[in-house]
Chain A
């Protein structure tokens, strides 16, 4: 194997974690979301081991992981499979494969709200997300719930209680250290 490739290959660190995979499929059998995946978890790990980066990020499988940790719990080789799913999510954002997807836009709005206020401001996050996704049908799915929450006074335009905590320093330092690594 070419070592230069290994250091620049975005999947290298995940592959190292999964090298003991025996392709038994326990992960697929344990996954509550496999019905909504285009590629099964077992096959996804095969793709990771084979270095099929493009195929992995064209598929929706890692985005459908809801971090229930069933596969991690049951894997007979004790592999950190949920962590590997998270690593794919992170690489997807870092390399720009997923940044335009509704999922990535949702989490971006969430973290932006946290950076600014220290706590998530649910109204600001959801409206920011609707705006970013630019799909006029999207808010309709949440209108009934949103009205219920507003009628209970559970979401407000004012945002979270308590002191505003600006986490810009923390976010900036995280980015700085990640860029060094």
Chain B
């Protein structure tokens, strides 16, 4: 199996462990990733705040680059915001040919052309559909038995485009996590919003939303995410959220490929577990390896 790969800005900076663990997991699954040359920002939630056209032009540039690199490969995006922004372009131009020609006018400035033939896929889509829990289970060497993991999907890999899972009651992570030997922490917060950039721009609202998610995961050993912004919001403010809620809400937050990789015996270094802002020691203790990273 082979995919085009768009890491996006977060995975090049504050979420580099998501990038590294995705690459290490894919290597362990014999999946080849071909990173887009000279990729640029997808616009995040910033472009859409100012201009619809800019919010389509920025991801369109990356899709046009993808088209120069392959004819028949899907484009894998691990970041949910990148995934949605890229997908929004392919969905928009499918029904709006005028927008396609406008985008091509913009891309012509840099000698690029877009047709829209590339399929954009989220990492969770590829893991749960193309690769599947069976392939993970076959490779498990250090089962996470005895641990309870809360699957957190967030919003933008599920909505508005319901591609690979139920947009309100998602389950695609269950089989993957169960393949590692871990138990699923049953909760109803998996598809609730973490507030996205509210943590920056409307701080208290973000703290309230994340506080509700962390409170609901209290009996779990870890929360698993598939988005760098969800990850940052859930792990970055646990001290102050615990203080505000007058209860200890500290919990390890891990990326899905880190959890799957751990069970497959991929080294902590290759999964960059020490780069997460929350110490993952608790889950290692439980799974019986006995050493704290």
**Inter-subunit contact B50/A82 (CB<8 Å):** no
9 additional A-B residue pairs with CB within 8 Å, beyond A69-B159, A162-B38: A33-B209, A35-B208, A69-B156, A73-B159, A89-B48, A108-B50, A110-B44, A110-B46, A177-B106
The answer to whether A72 has its CB under 8 Å from any CB of chain B is yes
Query: Please, which residue of chain A has its CB at the minimum distance from the CB of B45?
Result: A67
Query: Please, which residue of chain A has its CB at the minimum distance from the CB of B15?
Result: A154
* A96-123 interface bits toward B, Cβ cutoff 8 Å, 1 = contact, 0 = none: 0000001110111011001000111010
The answer to whether B184 has its CB under 8 Å from any CB of chain A is no
**Inter-subunit contact A67/B156 (CB<8 Å):** yes
The answer to whether A2 has its CB under 8 Å from any CB of chain B is no
Q: Which of B116-124, B136-144, B193-201, B262-270 lies at the interface with chain A?
A: B193-201
* A55-77 interface bits toward B, Cβ cutoff 8 Å, 1 = contact, 0 = none: 00000000110111110110000
The answer to whether B9 has its CB under 8 Å from any CB of chain A is yes
**Inter-subunit contact B61/A170 (CB<8 Å):** yes
Query: Please, which residue of chain A has its CB at the minimum distance from the CB of B194?
Result: A66
The answer to whether A26 has its CB under 8 Å from any CB of chain B is no
The answer to whether A90 has its CB under 8 Å from any CB of chain B is yes
Residues of A within 8 A of B41 (CB): 114, 118-120
Top 6 nearest A-B pairs (CB, nearest first) are A69-B159, A68-B193, A110-B46, A118-B40, A36-B205, A107-B46
**Inter-subunit contact A33/B205 (CB<8 Å):** yes
**Inter-subunit contact A67/B58 (CB<8 Å):** no
Residues of A within 8 A of B53 (CB): 174, 177-178
Partner of B40, one of A94, A114, A141, A178: A114
Residues of B within 8 A of A72 (CB): 159-160
B143–chain A nearest beta-carbon distance, Å: 29
**Inter-subunit contact A90/B52 (CB<8 Å):** yes
| Residue contacts A-B, CB under 8 angstroms, 15 given | A33-B193, A63-B202, A64-B205, A66-B196, A68-B159, A70-B155, A73-B167, A87-B52, A90-B48, A93-B50, A111-B46, A119-B40, A145-B236, A170-B61, A177-B102
Chain A residues in contact with chain B, CB under 8 A? 32-33, 35-36, 63-64, 66-70, 72-73, 82, 86-87, 89-90, 93-94, 102-104, 106-108, 110-111, 114, 118-120, 122, 129, 141-142, 144-145, 148-149, 152, 154-155, 160-163, 165, 167, 169-174, 177-178
The answer to whether B192 has its CB under 8 Å from any CB of chain A is yes
B3–chain A nearest beta-carbon distance, Å: 19
Partner of B209, one of A32, A104, A141: A32
Partner of A82, one of B14, B49, B160: B160
Query: Please, which residue of chain A has its CB at the minimum distance from the CB of B272?
Result: A152
Chain B residues in contact with chain A, CB under 8 A? 9, 12-14, 16, 38, 40-41, 43-55, 57-58, 61, 102, 105-107, 109-110, 155-156, 159-160, 162, 167-168, 192-193, 195-198, 200-205, 208-209, 236-237, 239-240, 275, 277
Residues of A within 8 A of B196 (CB): 66-68
Partner of A111, one of B50, B107, B110, B167: B50
In the bound assembly, the distance between CA atoms of A171 and B58 in angstroms comes to: 9
In the bound assembly, the distance between CA atoms of A66 and B243 in angstroms comes to: 25
**Inter-subunit contact B40/A167 (CB<8 Å):** yes
In the bound assembly, the distance between CA atoms of A108 and B46 in angstroms comes to: 7
**Inter-subunit contact A160/B205 (CB<8 Å):** no
Residues of B within 8 A of A82 (CB): 160
**Inter-subunit contact A170/B109 (CB<8 Å):** yes
B184–chain A nearest beta-carbon distance, Å: 23
B153–chain A nearest beta-carbon distance, Å: 11
In the bound assembly, the distance between CA atoms of A24 and B160 in angstroms comes to: 20
Residues of B within 8 A of A177 (CB): 53, 102, 105-106
Partner of B203, one of A33, A68, A141, A160: A141
**Inter-subunit contact A122/B201 (CB<8 Å):** no
**Inter-subunit contact B160/A93 (CB<8 Å):** no
Residues of A within 8 A of B52 (CB): 86-87, 90
Residues of A within 8 A of B155 (CB): 66-70
**Inter-subunit contact A144/B240 (CB<8 Å):** yes
In the bound assembly, the distance between CA atoms of A94 and B44 in angstroms comes to: 19
In the bound assembly, the distance between CA atoms of A82 and B54 in angstroms comes to: 17
**Inter-subunit contact A154/B275 (CB<8 Å):** yes
In the bound assembly, the distance between CA atoms of A175 and B172 in angstroms comes to: 41
